[in-house]
Amino acid sequence: MALKNQYLSDLLSRVKQRNRAEDEFIQAVTEVLESLEPVAEKRPDLVSAGVFERIVEPERVIMFRVPWVDDSGKVQVNRGFRVQFNSAIGPYKGGLRFHPTVYLGIIKFLGFEQIFKNSLTTLPMGGGKGGADFDPKGKSDGEVMRFCQSFMTELCRHIGSDLDVPAGDINVGGREIGFMYGQYKRIRNEFAGVLTGKGLTFGGSLARTEATGYGLCYFTENMLNANGSSFKGKTVVISGSGNVAIYATQKATELGGKVVALSDSNGYIYDPDGIDLDCVKQLKEVERKRIKEYVATHPNATYTEGCNGIWTIKCDIALPCATQNEIDGASAEILVKNGCKAVAEGANMPSTPEAIEVYLKNGVYYGPAKAANAGGVAVSGLEMSQNSERLSWTFEEVDGKLKDIMKSIFDACDEKSKEFGLPGNYMAGANIAGFLKVAEAMKAQGVV
C-alpha cells in the first residue's frame, strides 16, 4: 500500500533514508504511518506540532560494550543496547532481548512498537527496548550470570524506577532478571522497582509470568466474541514454546480450545490429542531442552524439522508467539486455505506486511501484536504500582485487572477502527488509538 498523504509519504522517505540498514524498524514505521493517514488528514494540529516527525526518532540510543569471561577463561565481547524511544506519557518501559540476531534495527523496531502498546494499556508508561547480541544457548548458569552482571554494570547508569524500567523478552526470563537485579542493587545501593518480571521473593508481581500468554487469549476471546465466536471447540496452533507460548497454551485450553502444535527455532511438534503442557513446561522451563524431546514420551505426536511448516497445520486460530516475520504471505495463504479464521499475535511483528494483507483481504480476524500481546507490559505496569506502594496484590486481583485491561484494549481498537472508517481493521484501530494518546501528550508538552 502506497501512502497517498504527501506529508506522511515524504516523512517515510526520510525515515528510510536515515535508517537505511534497519529493515525491521522501517517495516514497523511503514505499517504505523500507513494506518495514521486518516489521522494526519483529520488532525492538522498534530502535523504542525511535528508529532509525526518526532515520534519516529528515538529520544536517546545507548550502545555499549559488554565484556565477560567464559568458562574456559576466554574473554568474550557482546554489544548491548537500550533505546529510550518516547517518554511522553511515562518512564521508558520495555523488555530486554538476548539473541544473536539482535542489532540496532531490531531494538528500534521493538522500542517503536512499545510506544503504542504501552499507550494502549491505559497505564502511564513510555516506550523503550534493549538487549544484546548474546546467545544464551549452550551457556552455563555461571556464564549467563557473568554476562548479565557485565550488561547491568553499564545499563544501571541509564535506568531508574522513574526513568526507565526494563523487563524480559526473548531469552530474558526470571533467571536473567534476577542476576541483573542483584547487580543493579549492588552497584546503585538501592532496592528499587527498576526491573519488572522479578522473582516473587523480591518485588515481583504474581501473574507476570503468565501475563503475556493469558492476555493474548483474553484479547483473542474478546475479538472472537465481538464476531460471534469463541475459543470453545476450536483447534489452535501456537508457535514458539517459550514464556508467551506456554501460557497462551494454558489459557487457550482453559477457554475450551485445543492446542495441537508448538515449535522452537529448530522445528515443530504436532499432537492431535492436544498438547500436554506439563511435559512442555518440564522440558522448556526446568530442563531447558529442545521441543523435539516431547515426542519421546508422546507416541501420537510427531516432530518436523524447520519451524515455518507449523503454519501448514489445519487450525481455526493461529497464535504466533515466537519472533518477528515468522508468518510470510505464503504461510498466511495456507492458513486461510485451511480455514483459519483468526490470527492474534503474541510475538512482536510476527506477520510480514504481505501476510497482513492476506488476513485483511480474506476477512481473517487479526489481532495485531501491539494490542494482543500488551498484557505482559500491562502487568509489568502493575508490578511498578505494587513496588511503589510496597504491597503485593493477589493473583486473582492482578489477573482480574489484566482481563479488564485486555478488554479495554480490544474495545479501543474496535472503536477507533470504526471512528476512522475501517471497521474490523483492528491493526488500524490499535495504531490510531495508541498513537493519539501519546500525540496529545507530545503536543501539550511542546517541542521537546
Does 196 interact with ligand 2IT (rule: CB under 6 A)?
yes
Residue 286, SS3 per DSSP:
helix
Q: Where are the alpha helices (DSSP H) in 236-391?
A: 243-254, 277-281, 294-297, 329-337, 353-361, 369-372, 375-388
To the nearest whole angstrom, how small is the minimum distance from the Cβ of residue 347 to ligand 2IT? 9
376 belongs to the binding site for ligand 2IT (CB under 6 A): yes
Active-site residue flag, 93: no
Partner whose binding site includes residue 170, from ligand 2IT, ligand NDP, none (CB under 5 to 8 Å by kind): ligand NDP
CB nearer ligand 2IT, residue 43 or residue 82: 82
Q: Report the side by side order of strands in the sheet with 75-86.
A: 60-69, 75-86, 126-132, 92-98, 164-167
386 counts as binding ligand 2IT under rule CB under 6 A: no
Q: Are β-strands 235-238 and 317-319 bridged in parallel, bridged antiparallel, or unpaired?
A: parallel
Report if residue 106 touches ligand NDP, rule: CB under 6 A: no
Number of residues that bind ligand NDP (CB under 6 A): 24
Among 35, 153, 241, 417, binds ligand NDP (CB under 6 A): 241
Report how far Cα 72 is from the mean position of its chain's Cα atoms. Answer: 35
Residue whose CB is less far from ligand NDP, 248 or 315: 248
Cα gap 345→308, rounded to integer Å: 16
**CB 368 → ligand 2IT: shortest distance, Å?**
13
- Smallest distance, Å, CB 346 to ligand NDP? 5
For residue 21, the tally of other CB atoms under 10 A from its CB is 9
Out of 90, 168, 204, 367, point to the residue binding ligand NDP (CB under 6 A).
168
Among 58, 80, 90, 95, binds ligand 2IT (CB under 6 A): 95
Residue closest to ligand NDP, measured at CB: 242
Q: Is 367 in the site for ligand NDP (CB under 6 A)?
A: no
Strand ranges inside 24-145, DSSP E: 60-69, 75-86, 92-98, 126-132
Among 169, 176, 271, 326, which residue sits at the site for ligand 2IT (rule: CB under 6 A)? 169
**335 near ligand 2IT, rule: CB under 6 A:** no
Residue 222 near ligand NDP by CB under 6 A:
no
Q: Give the bridge partners for 304, in sequence order.
A: 268
The residue among 51 and 145 lying less far from ligand NDP, judged by its C-beta, is 145
Q: Report the alpha-carbon distance of residue 40 to residue 62 in Å, rounded.
A: 31
Residue 321 binds which entry of ligand NDP, ligand 2IT, none, CB below 5-8 Å type-dependent: ligand NDP
Tell me the C-alpha to C-alpha distance, in Å, between residue 21 and each of 98, 103, 114, 388, 428: 20, 10, 21, 40, 26
Cell numbers linked to 363 = 476477512
Adjacency order of strands within the sheet including 342-344 = 302-305, 267-270, 258-263, 235-238, 317-319, 342-344, 365-367
Which cell numbers in the block locate residue 330? 505464503
Signed CA dihedral, 144, 146, 148, 150: sign only: negative
Q: Which candidate in 93, 117, 129, 258 is catalytic?
A: 129
Alpha carbons 13 and 16: distance in angstroms, whole number: 5
Nearer residue to ligand 2IT within complex by CB, 196 or 250? 196
Comparing CA positions, the residue from 213, 323, 220, 212 lying closest to residue 263 is 323
433 binds, among ligand 2IT, ligand NDP, none (CB under 5 to 8 A by kind): none
User: Residue 316: what residue type?
Assistant: D
Q: Is residue 68 within 8 Å of residue 132, measured between CB atoms? A: no
Contact 259, 238 (CB under 8 A): yes
Given the complex with ligand 2IT, which of 8 and 167 has the nearer CB atom? 167
* Contact map string, positions 339 to 358, toward ligand 2IT, x by CB under 6 A: ---------x----------
In the list 90, 111, 127, 240, the residue contacting ligand NDP (rule: CB under 6 A) is 240
Which amino acid would we find at residue 272? P
Block residue for cell numbers 500491562: 378
196 binds, among ligand 2IT, ligand NDP, none (CB under 5 to 8 A by kind): ligand 2IT
* 372 near ligand 2IT, rule: CB under 6 A: no
Q: Which does 346 bind (CB under 5 to 8 A by kind): ligand NDP, ligand 2IT, none?
A: ligand NDP
Does residue number 210 form part of the binding site for ligand 2IT (CB under 6 A)? no
CB of 160 to ligand NDP, least distance (A): 21
Shortest distance, CB of residue 260 to ligand 2IT, whole angstroms? Answer: 26
Query: Helix (H, G, I), strand (E, B), or coil: what is residue 211?
Result: helix
Which of these ranges, 49-57, 155-163, 226-234, 258-266, lies near ligand NDP under the rule CB under 6 A?
258-266
Alpha-carbon gap, residue 341 to 364, rounded angstroms? 5
Q: State the residues that interact with ligand 2IT by CB under 6 A.
A: 93-95, 117, 167, 169, 196, 348, 376-377, 380
Q: State the residues that interact with ligand NDP by CB under 6 A.
A: 168-171, 173, 212, 240-245, 264-266, 307, 321-323, 346-348, 373, 376
